[in-house]
Amino acid sequence: MERAFFSVPTSFLEFDPDASRNPGKMDPVEMRKAMASVPDLYRMRLAGYSDADFRNLRAQPATELDHLRGSTYANLFTSLGQPLRAEFIDGKGLVVTAGQHRALEAKRIGVPYLPMHVTLPDSEHLVRVREACETEVSRLTPDMAELVGQDRALDTRLYPAREGSDFAERQGGPESREPVRDPGWRNPEVDRDFLWREGEGRSER
């Protein structure tokens, strides 16, 4: 079994039929805002925004939009959030296994592709499925050619065990297929609550 991080076209995703019928845990309005911000996050990455920049947006937001972008980035592009996950299943394709409601909403509002942690049967499937996704992503947004390279670099950082690094020797076993955790994203005050100070303020999660 292999696991990798790359962008998956929403048209490639398959869903549990019950997902669209059962309410999700996230507020629908907030979920729609978060998913609508994903294309902005891709553009910001290409413009040079780093992990540190997105951490600052979440930890010290100047606006509500800053916090939304920083939090959504933390959830989708790091190992400490609530990532979207999919598994390649023969005969079915890429089936969403975590974040179904968010992925469904993204597809519904026209987000072309999503950052996902994908589980595949073996390295051969990894190469084939990832290249198919990268080809479609490049076709959908030819002006964002660098995106594929950025995804590859982030994948290497999240899953160094797959590249035969020292990490693989230390880890071994199933844990080596989990993304490396970045403690720089731990911010208990922000993770617990964000108080939007406007008027009497309101709490956002």
User: 82: how many CB neighbours lie within 10 A of its CB?
Assistant: 13
| Burial degree of 60 (CB within 10 A; 0-12, 13-18, 19+) | exposed
Instruction: Produce one character per residue of 96-125: b if its CB has 16 or more CB atoms within 10 Å, e if not.
Output: bbebbbbbbbbbeeebbbbbbbbbbeeeeb
Q: Between the CA atoms of 4, 45, 97 and 15, what dihedral angle is there, to the nearest 10 degrees?
A: -120
User: In this predicted structure, which of 102-106, 152-156, 161-165, 193-197 has the lowest mean pLDDT?
Assistant: 193-197
pLDDT tens track for 49-87: 999 999 999 999 999 999 999 999 999 999 878 899 999
How far CA 36 is from CA of 87, 99, 162, in Å, comes to 24, 15, 32
Percentage of the chain modeled with pLDDT above 90:
67
pLDDT tens track for 120-154: 999 999 999 999 999 999 999 998 889 999 999 99
For the chain, domain boundaries: 2-16+27-181
